[in-house]
Chain A
Amino acid sequence: EVQLVESGGNLVQPGGSLRLSCAASGFTFSTYWMSWVRQAPGKGLEWVANIKEDGSAKYYMDSVKGRFTISRDNAKNSLSLQMNSLRAEDTAVYFCARGTGASHWGQGTLVTVSS
């Protein structure tokens, strides 16, 4: 069974940093693109970033370029999102999703940016 388990969400002050993790199991992690998608409170879904199977290609939404970094460790079946210079508008539940078609999603982790 495919499982994606996010962790690392927390309350952080504006300008602060946070690192999210996603532990994958039940599939061959190294053969799938992986993505982060977020959902602000009461709002819709918004793609944030994705990363190729071997980590050789990474893409970001415009508003997080230069602030967020997606990475993966295929030996540990793990996906990460390093978030720096956080803003109030980054407040959201962050989901990791498998593949370019988002076939499977984790339960999400809440990031709150507030003073």
Chain B
Amino acid sequence: DVVMTQSPLSLPVTLGQPASISCRSSQSLVSSDGNTYLNWFQQRPGQSPRRLIYKVSNRDSGVPDRFSGSGSGTDFTLKISRVEAEDVGVYYCMQGTHSPPWTFGPGTKVDIK
């Protein structure tokens, strides 16, 4: 199974400042169809997960443009250009290229300094 790692696991941020989360996979996530099935999810305290980004860099409908995804192969990044209070929560990356099983990263907890 593909192992997903994230860093850091805890990220204290200052409101209005940028933030960046790294996600790495144990093998390339480029699929035989040419797509890379790497998604990012946000889980606010007490809420269900919400998908933010799909296939590395595509923002879901309604997701603020301060969120962006990038990367290729085995290395991926989620960036928040200017952190807002509503961005507090845990962020997960997930791969769907080598599935089953889908595999998730351990999560990165973002909170305000």
Contacts and interface: CB of A to CB of B under 8 A. Distances in A.
Interface of A: 35, 37, 44-47, 50, 59-61, 95, 100-108
B32 interface: no
B48 A102 contact: no
A62 to B, nearest CB: 8
Nearest to B48: A105
A105 B50 CA distance: 7
A107 B103 CA distance: 20
Given A37-B102, A100-B37, A102-B39, 16 more contacts: A44-B104, A44-B105, A45-B41, A45-B92, A45-B94, A45-B104, A47-B100, A47-B101, A47-B102, A47-B103, A47-B104, A61-B100, A95-B48, A102-B49, A102-B51, A105-B48
Contacts of A105: 48-51
Nearest to B51: A103
Nearest to A107: B48
A10 B50 CA distance: 24
B101 A59 contact: yes
Interface of B: 37, 39, 41, 43, 48-51, 54-55, 60, 90, 92, 94, 96, 99-107
Contacts of A106: 48
Contacts of A35: 102
A63 B99 CA distance: 16
A100 B106 contact: no
Contacts of A104: 51
- Determine which residue in B43, B100, B106 has the highest number of CB atoms from chain A within 10 A of its CB, and name it: B100
A100 B102 CA distance: 9
A21 B100 CA distance: 22
Contacts of A61: 100-101
A77 B37 CA distance: 26
Given A61-B101, A101-B39, A103-B60, A45 B49 contact: yes
Top 10 A-B pairs, shortest CB-CB distance:
A59-B100, A47-B102, A105-B48, A45-B104, A44-B107, A101-B54, A47-B101, A105-B49, A44-B106, A103-B51
